[in-house]
């Protein structure tokens, strides 16, 4: 065979990835279960580069140069397993199967182990940037063996987004590392979007402003610390008018957020790893809450008059309020990223992936949904101090937080006072205050646990574990 790389699964993502590869000069073998997709790709885009189409999987495999590199871009879950099972007998020692779908990292670890047993490399690869990214340059997070990256690296680095001459692709670590960091990326994306949504809600309610005015505020924010793709498209969405009703688009959209599951996976993993990713968890739960239409209607009826008689919210100093919300958003965002990077470190420790967090920040600067100016600062923070205990304490971020604290407190206070749900703002402030607190009431929890369950406690003044005879003479003994 002569093709340098192959793509099987030519729905929107696979098709765009194949076109991106061809446009960058690679000879691309293409295949899809139903051949129409293969033919239409070549018919519509054959002039963009060199495609080698096949109708059967065996012809597809035969059209590849060795070691073969096959990208699988089919529906996640059972279809991915089905395609892998079909591929394995057709491949030879040293060939590489790349799963660019949104797989759970546990599945990737299982598949990697199974294929290793067949002498094959399996590379679970996170790809961020959606359809457009796949075509024009995504952020690519390949896991798998270092050896497989020797073949894939030069190809992926060429088709990835480029920022300041650096490709948004690097080898993340063995087996499931790539899909793990992609999962956390999506979790951070959930938190970022929830924080933006809360900022919008505060501005809309606090200022009584129309979406179009708030769009301008976000546009202004996009030239400062918050500069990012998500802030930019927030202005775009808020500024959009519904053609049918001439009302602000955001007002005609049903207010129930959906999810495909990567936020949930992130939170489940964080619970297992014991990492308090409160921002991502609140963002995921906020989406769930929004979907509980019946409960929302019942609660709205039951508590319709709860704030009756309360003073209405009148923001007297408009500019100060806007700046407060901006600072609260920025500080909360630092917390969300700090938590996400903590989870990546915990996953890396748990599975021996040796993930380089600074390097990871580099490849999220372009192509992906959370791309932001801010990621350069994250890279700098980890370059300066690879064992940084929390991103929050890196000097640049510590300053962003410190400068924002009074605003953050005012915004969370206003939200509580005027009944605006701001769970991500509030929980990130609580996380910050919890982390920096001298003494936590966790001491009382330890006392309770010892009281009802003899779970023991440690003392501040002596080593070892202790138990108090709560039901007896209250004497203390070493446990
Ligand atoms: P879909 O997830 O809609 O999957 C459709 C493709 O899967 C078609 O090529 C279909 O073939 C193939 N397929 C389904 N079942 C089988 C099977 N049993 N055997 C062989 N082929 C099968 O495609 P998308 O392009 O939307 O997404 C592909 C992957 O990328 C998914 O894992 C998805 O989660 C992920 N994704 C990632 C995004 C990102 O930003 N990274 C965005 C969107 C998706 P046929 O044409 O014959 O039906």
User: Can you give the pLDDT of all 479 residues of the chain as single tens digits?
Assistant: 899 999 999 999 999 999 999 999 999 999 999 999 999 999 999 999 999 999 999 999 999 999 999 999 999 999 999 999 999 999 999 999 999 999 999 999 999 999 999 999 999 999 999 999 999 999 999 999 999 999 999 999 999 999 999 999 999 999 999 999 999 999 999 999 999 999 999 999 999 999 999 999 999 999 999 999 999 999 999 999 999 999 999 999 999 999 999 999 999 999 999 999 999 999 999 999 999 999 999 999 999 999 888 888 878 899 999 999 999 999 999 999 999 999 999 999 999 999 999 999 999 999 999 999 889 999 999 999 999 999 999 999 999 999 999 999 999 999 999 999 999 999 999 999 999 999 999 999 999 999 999 999 999 999 999 999 999 999 999 99
- Shortest-distance atom of ligand 1 to CA 129: 40
* Among 187, 361, 334, 192, CA closest to 270: 187
Is the CB–ligand 1 distance for residue 14 below 6 Å? yes
For residues 142 and 205, the answer to whether their CB atoms sit within 8 Å is: no
- Shortest-distance atom of ligand 1 to CA 12: 25
- Output the CA angle 32-37-43, nearest 5 degrees: 125
Pocket test of ligand 1: the residue of 7, 8, 11 to mutate, having most ligand atoms within 8 Å of its CB, is: 11
Is the CB–ligand 1 distance for residue 41 below 6 Å? no
For residues 31 and 64, the answer to whether their CB atoms sit within 8 Å is: no
- Shortest-distance atom of ligand 1 to CA 15: 25
Q: At what angle do helices 318-351 and 395-418 cross, to 10 degrees?
A: 120
* Among 32, 23, 82, CA closest to 53: 32
Strand order in the sheet with 27-31: 50-53, 27-31, 5-8, 69-72, 96-99, 121-128, 139-142
Query: What value of ipTM does the predicted structure carry?
Result: 0.96
For residues 427 and 276, the answer to whether their CB atoms sit within 8 Å is: no
Instruction: Tell the residue nearest (CA) to atom 40 of ligand 1.
Output: 130
What is the distance between the alpha carbons of residues 418 and 81, in angstroms, rounded to a whole number?
51
Instruction: Tell the residue nearest (CA) to atom 11 of ligand 1.
Output: 33
pLDDT at 1: 85
What is the distance between the alpha carbons of residues 127 and 116, in angstroms, rounded to a whole number?
22
Pocket test of ligand 1: the residue of 8, 10, 12, 13 to mutate, having most ligand atoms within 8 Å of its CB, is: 13
- How many CB atoms lie under 10 A from the CB of residue 460? 6
- Compute the Cα dihedral for 131, 141, 2, 72 and give only its sign: negative
The residues that are catalytic are: 182, 189
For residues 436 and 343, the answer to whether their CB atoms sit within 8 Å is: no
Is the CB–ligand 1 distance for residue 71 below 6 Å? no
**Model pTM?**
0.96
CA of 370 to the centre of ligand 1 (A): 23
For residues 65 and 4, the answer to whether their CB atoms sit within 8 Å is: yes
pLDDT at 311: 82
CA of 277 to the centre of ligand 1 (A): 30
- Shortest-distance atom of ligand 1 to CA 126: 41
Instruction: Tell the residue nearest (CA) to atom 9 of ligand 1.
Output: 9
Contacts of 313 (CB under 8 A, 6+ apart): 205, 206, 414, 417, 418
Mind giving me the DSSP string for 388-415?
Answer: -S-GGGSHHHHHHHHHHHHHHHHHHHHH
pLDDT at 66: 97
Record the tokens describing residue 31, joined without a space: 């295949």
Is the CB–ligand 1 distance for residue 39 below 6 Å? no
Is the CB–ligand 1 distance for residue 98 below 6 Å? no
CA of 258 to the centre of ligand 1 (A): 19
Alpha helix segments (H runs only) across 24-104: 35-45, 57-62, 78-87
Instruction: Tell the residue nearest (CA) to atom 44 of ligand 1.
Output: 13
Could you tell me which residues are beta bridge partners of residue 248? Answer: 241
Q: Kindly tell me the burial class for residue 421, based on how many C-beta atoms sit within 10 Å of its own C-beta (0-12, 13-18, 19 or more).
A: middle
Is the CB–ligand 1 distance for residue 9 below 6 Å? yes
Is the CB–ligand 1 distance for residue 102 below 6 Å? yes
- How many CB atoms lie under 10 A from the CB of residue 239? 18
CA of 80 to the centre of ligand 1 (A): 9
Q: What number of residues does the chain have?
A: 479
Strand order in the sheet with 476-478: 457-458, 465-468, 476-478
Is the CB–ligand 1 distance for residue 13 below 6 Å? yes
């Amino acid at each position: 065979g002569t093709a340098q790389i192959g793509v099987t699964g030519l729905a929107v993502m696979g098709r765009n990835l194949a076109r991106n590869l061809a446009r960058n000069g690679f000879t691309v073998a293409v295949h899809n279960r139903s051949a129409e997709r293969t033919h239409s790709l070549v018919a519509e885009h054959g002039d963009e580069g060199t495609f080698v189409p096949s109708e059967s999987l065996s012809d597809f495999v035969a059209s590849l140069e060795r070691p073969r590199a096959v990208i699988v871009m089919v529906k996640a879950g059972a279809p991915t397993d089905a395609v892998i099972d079909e591929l394995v007998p057709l491949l030879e020692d040293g060939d590489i199967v790349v799963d660019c779908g949104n797989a759970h990292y546990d599945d990737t670890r299982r598949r990697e182990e199974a294929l290793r047993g067949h002498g094959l490399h399996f590379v679970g690869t996170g790809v961020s940037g959606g359809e457009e990214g796949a075509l024009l340059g995504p952020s690519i997070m390949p896991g798998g063996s270092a050896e497989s990256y020797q073949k894939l690296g030069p190809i992926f680095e060429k088709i990835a987004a480029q920022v300041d001459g650096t490709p948004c692709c690097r080898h993340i670590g063995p087996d499931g590392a790539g899909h793990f960091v992609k999962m956390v990326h999506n979790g951070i994306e959930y938190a970022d979007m929830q924080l933006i949504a809360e900022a919008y809600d505060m501005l809309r309610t606090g200022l009584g402003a129309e979406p179009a005015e708030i769009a301008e505020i976000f546009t202004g924010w996009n030239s400062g610390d918050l500069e990012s793709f998500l802030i930019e498209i927030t202005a775009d969405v808020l500024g959009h008018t519904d053609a049918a009703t001439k009302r602000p688009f955001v007002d005609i959209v049903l207010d129930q957020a959906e999810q495909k599951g990567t936020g949930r996976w992130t939170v489940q993993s964080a619970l297992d790893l014991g990492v308090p990713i409160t921002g991502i968890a609140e963002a995921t739960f906020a989406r769930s809450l929004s979907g509980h239409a019946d409960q929302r209607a019942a609660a709205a009826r039951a508590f319709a008059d709860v704030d009756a008689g309360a003073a209405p919210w009148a923001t007297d100093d408009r500019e100060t309020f806007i700046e407060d919300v901006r600072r609260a958003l920025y500080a909360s965002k630092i917390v969300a990223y700090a938590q996400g990077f903590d989870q990546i470190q915990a996953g890396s420790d748990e599975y021996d992936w040796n993930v380089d967090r600074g390097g990871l920040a580099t490849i999220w600067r372009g192509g992906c949904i959370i791309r932001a100016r801010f990621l350069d600062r994250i890279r700098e923070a980890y370059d300066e101090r690879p064992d940084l205990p929390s991103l929050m304490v890196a000097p640049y971020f510590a300053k962003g937080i410190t400068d924002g604290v009074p605003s953050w407190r005012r915004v969370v206070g206003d939200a509580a006072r005027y009944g605006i749900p701001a769970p991500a703002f509030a929980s990130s402030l609580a996380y910050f205050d919890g982390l920096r607190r001298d003494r936590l009431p966790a001491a009382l929890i330890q006392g309770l646990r010892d009281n009802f369950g003899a779970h023991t406690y440690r003392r501040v003044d002596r080593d070892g574990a202790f138990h108090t005879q709560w039901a007896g003479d209250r004497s203390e003994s070493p446990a």
